[in-house]
Amino acid sequence: MRYRLLAGVFALCLAAAAATMSVDKLFTFVQSSLQLIKEGKMTDKDLADFLLEKTTKLTERLDDRSIEQMQSLGIGPRTLAALRRLEEQSQSLPAAKPIEPPSAPAQAPPPSSEEQAAILDGVRAYALAYSKNLPDFICTQVTRRFVAPRPGTRYGGRADSEPSWQGPDVLTIRLSYFEQKEDYKLIMQNDTITTQDYKTLGGATTSGDFGSMTKEIFERATQAHFQWDHWATLRSQLAMAFAYRVEQARSQWHIVYDRQMDIVPAYRGLVYVDPKSREIVRVTLEAENLPPSFPVKMAQSILDYDYADLSGQRFLLPLKAQTLMAADDYMSRNDTSFHNYRKYSAESVLKFDTDTPDPIPEDKTKETPPAPPAPAKNQKNKQK
């Protein structure tokens, strides 16, 4: 079935019956296949088997440099082995022209240093007032928790391999925001209704997604260092990405292990900003210089915001978050999504729906490059 799917998807890349192609077309074919692997529609083994079992025939010699360029795309070990086999089989063929990587689209220049300072002042004002401007509300938080042996350890495979995630363990939580305070009530674990206190739950948990993260970054006392990073597109909207770093002495981010060990690390990340409203649409964090004696070796977090309607008004509220941690020989990944925002009331708490919403599609949080800037008008048009 997968081979028939591949043949249909890449019919334009392959010859009608036999899969004969140039090295350049092979590169394009592998690049397109990797997108299907990312989407879970095929595997590294599927691609490798297709290249070998369909007896792909090259019209040019495949060399080490071309294979290295395909490795830079992120091919798996089985596909690499298949390419090495094709390399051996093609040694008597004419040399191929060097693969020309696609040129990066032209990007708009970053704002001037003066403009960046003014933008960050506007973002700071927004971040510090964000929690105060939110109404009282209730929503459904769904956290899907995964675990995996850490790559490079005894059961995790090679250090450069992808984690083999196992799970998920699904938590359905009633999240109330009342008088600028968050309250988490665990409703279900997997498909079972529970009365367990969320604070006593084992495994990786998170809190503080409603403004505290961004507020701490932008507080004057934090003295975060900001600099321009890049333009991006999120949810079809242009965004400005600023890199930032917070020193350990100024950090307020706590990483707690096993509810006993607690550290406050330095961290860095990106803040994505709407260029018109100065609102924050995404923030990332990554811990730095974790103590060697601390069991957690890596901690990262990404939080996306999107607009939601509350009593006829639109507010920018958390949409989806992902937290990654590596401790000892294992990794954990929490994929959290927020659903069904509505105005807080005692009645809404009593009538809370226990149905677990579906995951938010990946394309809702996928970053894409911005469109190239419109060509400048010529002088003649300007005079008109």
Q: Which domain holds residue 148?
A: 113-364
Sign of CA dihedral 225, 207, 259, 156: negative
Q: Using one digit for the tens of pLDDT, what is the confidence trace for 158-168?
A: 887 888 999 88
- The model's confidence at residue 12, banded by pLDDT at 50, 70 and 90, is very low
The CA-based angle 162-163-168, given to 5 degrees, is 135
Q: Using one digit for the tens of pLDDT, what is the confidence trace for 167-187?
A: 889 999 999 888 888 889 999
CA distances from 49 to 81, 86, 108 (A): 10, 12, 42
Q: Using one digit for the tens of pLDDT, what is the confidence trace for 323-382?
A: 999 988 899 999 999 999 988 876 666 566 677 888 888 888 888 888 766 554 444 444
Q: Does the residue 312 lie in any domain?
A: yes
Q: Does the residue 105 lie in any domain?
A: no
Indicate if 189 and 335 belong to the same structural domain. Answer: yes
Q: Does the residue 212 lie in any domain?
A: yes
SS3 122: helix
Report the C-alpha gap between 73 and 85 in whole angstroms. 19
In the chain, the number of structural domains is 2
Indicate if 139 and 171 belong to the same structural domain. Answer: yes
Q: Token pair for residue 215?
A: 């507020």
Indicate if 81 and 126 belong to the same structural domain. Answer: no
| pLDDT above 90: percentage of residues in the chain | 39
Indicate if 126 and 234 belong to the same structural domain. Answer: yes
Indicate if 47 and 127 belong to the same structural domain. Answer: no
Mean per-residue pLDDT of the chain: 84
Q: Using one digit for the tens of pLDDT, what is the confidence trace for 30-43?
A: 888 888 887 777 88
- The model's confidence at residue 2, banded by pLDDT at 50, 70 and 90, is very low
Q: Does the residue 301 lie in any domain?
A: yes
- Segment 293-315 shows an average pLDDT of 91
Indicate if 194 and 314 belong to the same structural domain. Answer: yes
Report the C-alpha gap between 38 and 75 in whole angstroms. 11
Q: Does the residue 23 lie in any domain?
A: yes
CATH number at residue 282: 2.50.20
Indicate if 75 and 213 belong to the same structural domain. Answer: no
Indicate if 82 and 122 belong to the same structural domain. Answer: no
Indicate if 300 and 197 belong to the same structural domain. Answer: yes
Q: Does the residue 375 lie in any domain?
A: no
Indicate if 37 and 153 belong to the same structural domain. Answer: no
Indicate if 202 and 240 belong to the same structural domain. Answer: yes
Indicate if 25 and 161 belong to the same structural domain. Answer: no
13 Cβ neighbours under 8 A, 6+ residues apart: 21, 25, 28, 29, 32
Q: Does the residue 41 lie in any domain?
A: yes
Amino acid type, 81? A
